[in-house]
Amino acid sequence: MAERSIPIADLRYAAVAPAIPATAIEPDGNLVDRLRRPLRDLRISVTDRCNFRCTYCMPKSVFDQTYQFLPQASLLSFEEIFRLAQLFVAHGTEKLRLTGGEPLLRKNVEELITRLASLRTPRGEPVELTLTTNASLLVRKAEALAKAGLKRISVSLDALDDHTFRRMNDVEFPVADVIAGIEAADRAGLRPLKINMVVRRGVNDHDILPMATHFRGSGHILRFIEYMDVGSSNGWHLKEVVTSAEIIEKIGSIYPLEAIDPNYVGEVAQRWRYRDGSGEIGVISSVSQPFCGDCSRARLSTEGRLYTCLFATAGHDLRALLRSGHSDSEIASAIGLIWQQREDRYSEIRSHAVARSDRIEMSYIGG
């Protein structure tokens, strides 16, 4: 595996300069793509760095001590992120999620949260502001995040078994410290917490039931994510996928479950609740049951590339527009045109598509 050459650094700059349409596309909150999908969810990567080396995301074989992360000057400033977020919200975005890398590694990220928390949708409602983290810094950050205006948080935790978890994060980070971070976030009011477990056959699938048992009745929502073919560095193979149907069957055989309706159109997780009323779980079936038809998500990379699909090969360079003096109207029109031309549905056509080695890495644009 170590001998593979993966041009990740090159992919970060494989961006298409956005066109500004001759006729302005004014934000009216109703932007849709070619498949009539709205732009409701923007995931903003605030750093490409992470203090974990998870084997399915940032393996050490690629992200070693010689790997060149982006220089500070390449990153979008908080002012630039806020400016773009305003334009996306004007186009109809209702949810902003901060991701990474590990977003809590971005210095003074609370200042960005305070700014984003002030945004309102065209209907005058606050945007839903969330953050995904590995929880390594949550014990000392949770209260400040809540005070800054963060409403909710998602924590990545792939096993309760300490040996398995240390092997997966590959930096010997203990489960106990993640649990402590979850408890700190709960005390700070960042509820309901969502706990995300990426399930990989033969690696951590033995921990499905222990995870369900631990978080059942906690008030937190445990979500199981099928191991995905995102990027080129994780050596993905279909045989390692544990389907959501298998997961539900395994848990349901011990704790009876019943399906419940999604919270909104386009929700990625299928929801299930325990029949005894002890909470709910979710499954994200991006491999076995693709949900491209309702996908309303866009992703903004650390240095300002807009990606319209998690499995994209190239982005649109919004930073170039920001730093070359274009007006808000021009940038909003460029965003509008990009989304209007969108027709991505990679997960639906995965079985018919030619395997590609040039997909952008999940660690670069967030999951």
Confidence of residue 75 (pLDDT cuts 50, 70, 90): very high
Question: In this structure, which long-range contacts are made by residues 265-274, counting pairs with CB atoms below 8 Å and at least 24 apart in sequence?
Answer: 265/294, 265/296, 266/37, 266/40, 266/41, 266/291, 266/294, 266/295, 266/296, 266/297, 269/223, 270/244, 272/248, 274/216
Q: For the segment 260-291, what is each residue's pLDDT rounded down to a tens digit?
A: 998 887 788 899 999 999 999 999 987 877 76
Task: Tell me what percent of the residues of the chain surpass a pLDDT of 70.
Answer: 87
Q: Which of 15-19, 235-239, 326-330 has the least mean pLDDT? A: 235-239
Distances 216 to 211, 223, 260, 289 between C-alpha atoms, Å: 8, 12, 17, 25
What distance in Å separates the CA atoms of residue 324 and residue 345, rounded to the nearest whole number?
32
Say yes or no to pLDDT of 5 above 50. Answer: no
Count how many Cα atoms sit within 13 Å of the Cα of residue 167 in the half-sphere of its side chain.
10
- The answer to whether domain 8-365 has CATH 3.40.50.10420 is no
Global pTM? 0.90
- pLDDT (average), residues 48-59: 92
56 with 198: CB under 8 angstroms? yes
What distance in Å separates the CA atoms of residue 186 and residue 263, rounded to the nearest whole number?
22
Domain boundaries, the chain: 8-365
Q: For the segment 17-51, what is each residue's pLDDT rounded down to a tens digit?
A: 799 999 999 999 999 999 999 999 999 999 999 99
